[in-house]
Amino acid sequence: MLPILYQDAHLVAIDKPAGLLVHRTGLDAGETRFAVQLLREQIGQPVWPVHRLDKGTSGVLVFALGADAASATCSLFESSLGIVKRYQAVVRGWPAAEGVIDHPLKRLPDDARASPRALPAQAAVTRFRTLSRHAVPLPYGDFPQTRCALLELQPETGRRHQLRRHCKHMGHPIIGDATHGKGPLNRALAQWLGWRRLWLHAASLQLPHPVSGEPLRIEAPPGVEWARWQGA
């Protein structure tokens, strides 16, 4: 059963587990389980995805329960008006206490079969704040320990893989990111932690309700595996 965080006549929000695709995609053609399908079967009615979370990302994921609500909610996400997203991530290294990553990102094709031609870059902005710093007893390079940090990330734009790409750009890739991180380090940390996952979690989402316009805030506390990162 998918954990339901919020439900009314127009929207339903779940706490998506890490490793679950939102819907079928050519990027992962071998996958057979999808949040859309599972939620539809669980609540007994059709659902429309209105935003994305990567397969490896856990946390708040919202669906519409009708075509009109889907259209209105998608428009809200496209405009970013009234949308506030907050994530938690564990990254390699010790970033500054806080900062802004203002770095345009090239568009990515939505499907692995899409043309690989160059696509234009789009403005992309992410704010970050360091919540805690950690020294893991695993050698990294010439250092006897691996530095990691727990960050709060707040994307002000909604580019694809924005947080993963922005963290890599500032030199602090998200732990467990097979595309933008270091494979040997990811594997060593997964063995030490006892968890193999992308350490990125959508902790809260605020948006105007697509029908009433009232602010709606939905929260998903990080799972038990995040406890070792909480606190200094």
Q: Which residues are catalytic?
A: 54
Contacts 24+ apart (CB under 8 A), 128-134: 128/95, 128/98, 128/99, 128/100, 128/101, 128/152, 128/153, 128/154, 129/97, 129/98, 130/94, 130/95, 130/96, 130/97, 130/98, 131/88, 131/230, 132/229, 132/230, 132/231, 132/232, 133/94, 133/232, 134/229
Other residues' Cβ atoms within 10 Å of the Cβ of residue 192:
12
How distant, in Å, are the alpha carbons of 15, 73, 194, 218 from that of 8? 16, 14, 37, 13
What angle is formed at CA 223 by the lines to CA 36 and CA 146, rounded to 5 degrees? Answer: 115
The two structure tokens encoding residue 64? 């519409």
Furthest-apart CA pair in the chain: how many Å? 57
Contact between 133 and 232 under an 8 Å Cβ cutoff? The reply is yes
Phi and psi torsions of 152, nearest 5°:
-100, 130
Query: How far is Cα 174 from Cα 190, in angstroms, rounded to an integer?
Result: 13
